[in-house]
């Protein structure tokens, strides 16, 4: 059973950015209404900077309101002004269809300056009027905040372009033709962490990457999947990428790379004409045909492996034989055994190292798609990259690769132009 491949990205929300976003997003006029029993109109307009802090899936804010109490009489219009401090809390969840569902409650308020109105020579406190209004209309006040959040934060619109780009195939033409598809099938978010954590949450993307040499890949439906939470904790991302190399493609690439190569031993020179790669009895079988001082075909069979320490192909359980009708030539060709084996190993090692480099570039491009240029910065470090195994199948080789790394997605809620 193949181990799971996944992309893991810690997510941070800078405190200053969150505070700036809240200050910009919340309406200035939080409520306007009347206290009908006494005939007073009441208006509340926020003033100054909103102080914000985030704890897990809750946002706490403290803000000041300028309160105006007014009333029209047959004698004149009377008005009183005051200010109070509000403390609110917004809890939020994400629905399956990527809507941000928020619920704001008024936790506490305190008068800084209670409003008073002057009628003639009398000054009348009207604090009770505004107290009653706030108590009876607190849901209306908090609904204005929830409405502003819902209108500002459109998760599906923000994520869909990155999701689609992540699942688009990547085609590379040089030094050989590659086709890659990440095949992410879901996107998950870990529950928000506590207030002491620098990391707010983690994005978790299970993927089933496929890489084919010389052949295209099948593209699946590319719509944003339902949202789900992810509860397992990982320290880094892990991508296991099987690269499929059909023998016909291996034959073509190898022949193109070494055709005409000159090998010389003890005054005799041969020139490689073609290389043919196939599977034989569970091993890789390579025929090398050549001309020159000697003509014939040399065959090597082996079980391939890759040494990360030496960065070289290892030929295990190797056998070598010569195909030639000329007995003398057949014996002489054995003199070229080491040179022929070296050519096979050198050519295959070049291919494998080029493949590793291309895979790293591809993964970097794929992960860059998650940056969401308008609202996020992404830092990626690709750490370990290794060829772990080479499987010999009937019609192709499967080169198993493993790449690990870590990253950080820093949300820029204000974007580059001050808006989400």
pLDDT digits (tens, 9 = 90+) for 172-191: 877 778 888 888 888 888 88
Q: Which residues contact 156 (CB under 8 A, 6 or more apart)?
A: 97, 98, 99, 224
223-262 b/e (C-beta count within 10 Å ≥ 16 → b)? ebeebeebeeeeeebbbbbbbbbbbebbbebbbebbeebe
Please tell me the distance from the alpha carbon of residue 44 to that of residue 67, in angstroms, as a whole number. 5
Mean pLDDT over 67-76 rounds to 75
Work out the widest C-alpha separation in the chain, in whole angstroms: 130
Q: Which residues contact 71 (CB under 8 A, 6 or more apart)?
A: 38, 39, 40, 41, 77, 78, 79, 117
pLDDT of residue 53: 84
Q: Which residues contact 5 (CB under 8 A, 6 or more apart)?
A: 206, 207, 208, 209, 238, 239, 240, 241
pLDDT of residue 420: 36
Whether residue 252 is preceded by a cis peptide bond, meaning omega within 30 degrees of 0, is: no
pLDDT of residue 258: 92
Beta strand 188-189 with 228-229 is parallel
Please tell me the distance from the alpha carbon of residue 12 to that of residue 118, in angstroms, as a whole number. 51
Please tell me the distance from the alpha carbon of residue 164 to that of residue 154, in angstroms, as a whole number. 16
pLDDT band at 80 (very low <50, low <70, confident <90, very high): confident
Take residue 69 and report the two structure tokens written for it: 């109490």
Sheet holding 268-280, edge to edge: 262-265, 268-280, 283-292, 296-307, 312-323
pLDDT band at 35 (very low <50, low <70, confident <90, very high): low
Task: Check if the beta carbon of residue 86 is closer than 8 Å to that of residue 109.
Answer: yes
Mean pLDDT over 361-379 rounds to 77
State the average pLDDT for the chain.
Answer: 83
Q: Which has more confidence, 340 or 236?
A: 340
Give the number of residues written for the chain: 420
Please tell me the distance from the alpha carbon of residue 353 to that of residue 358, in angstroms, as a whole number. 9
Give the percent of the chain with pLDDT over 90.
25
- Is the pLDDT at 419 greater than 50, yes or no? no
Q: Count the Cβ atoms, other than its own, within 10 Å of residue 65.
A: 23
Q: Which residues contact 302 (CB under 8 A, 6 or more apart)?
A: 283, 284, 315, 316, 317, 318, 319
Give the percent of the chain with pLDDT over 70.
86
pLDDT of residue 418: 34
Please tell me the distance from the alpha carbon of residue 2 to that of residue 374, in angstroms, as a whole number. 36
């Amino acid at each position: 059973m193949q181990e799971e491949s996944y992309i893991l990205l810690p997510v941070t929300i800078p405190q200053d950015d969150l505070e700036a976003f809240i200050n910009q997003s919340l309406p200035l006029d939080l409520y306007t209404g009347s206290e009908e029993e006494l005939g007073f109109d009441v208006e509340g307009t926020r003033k100054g900077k909103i102080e914000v802090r985030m704890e897990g899936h809750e946002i706490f804010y403290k803000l000041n309101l300028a309160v105006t109490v007014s009333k029209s009489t047959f004698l004149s219009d009377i008005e009183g002004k005051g200010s109070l401090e509000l403390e609110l809390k917004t809890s939020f969840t994400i629905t399956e269809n990527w809507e941000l569902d928020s619920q704001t409650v008024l936790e506490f308020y305190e008068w800084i300056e209670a409003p008073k109105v002057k009628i003639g020579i009398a000054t009348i406190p009207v604090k009770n009027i505004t107290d009653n209004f706030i108590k009876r209309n607190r849901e209306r006040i908090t609904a204005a905040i929830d409405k502003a959040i819902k209108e500002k934060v459109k998760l599906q619109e923000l994520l869909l372009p990155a999701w689609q780009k992540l699942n688009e195939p990547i085609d590379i033409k040089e030094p050989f033709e590659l086709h890659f598809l990440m095949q992410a099938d879901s996107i998950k978010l870990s529950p928000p962490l506590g207030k002491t954590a620098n990391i707010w949450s983690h994005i978790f993307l299970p993927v089933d990457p496929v890489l084919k040499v010389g052949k295209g890949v099948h593209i699946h439906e590319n719509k944003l999947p339902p949202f789900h939470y992810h509860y397992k904790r990982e320290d880094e991302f892990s991508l296991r990428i099987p690269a499929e190399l059909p023998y016909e493609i291996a034959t073509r690439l190898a022949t193109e790379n070494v055709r005409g190569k000159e090998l010389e031993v003890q005054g005799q020179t041969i020139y490689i004409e073609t290389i043919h790669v196939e599977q034989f009895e569970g091993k890789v079988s390579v025929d090398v045909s050549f001309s020159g001082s000697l003509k014939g075909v040399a065959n090597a069979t082996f079980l391939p492996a890759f040494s990360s320490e030496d960065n070289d192909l290892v030929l295990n359980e190797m056998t070598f034989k010569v195909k030639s009708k000329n007995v003398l030539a057949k014996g002489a060709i054995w003199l070229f055994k080491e040179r022929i084996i070296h050519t096979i190993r050198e050519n295959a090692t070049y291919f494998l190292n080029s493949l590793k480099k291309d895979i790293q570039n591809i993964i970097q491009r794929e992960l860059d798609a998650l940056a969401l240029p308008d609202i996020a910065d992404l830092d990626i470090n690709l750490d370990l990259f290794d060829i772990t195994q080479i499987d010999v199948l009937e019609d192709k080789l499967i080169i198993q690769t493993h790449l690990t790394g870590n990253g950080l997605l820093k949300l820029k809620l204000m974007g580059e132009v001050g808006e989400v």
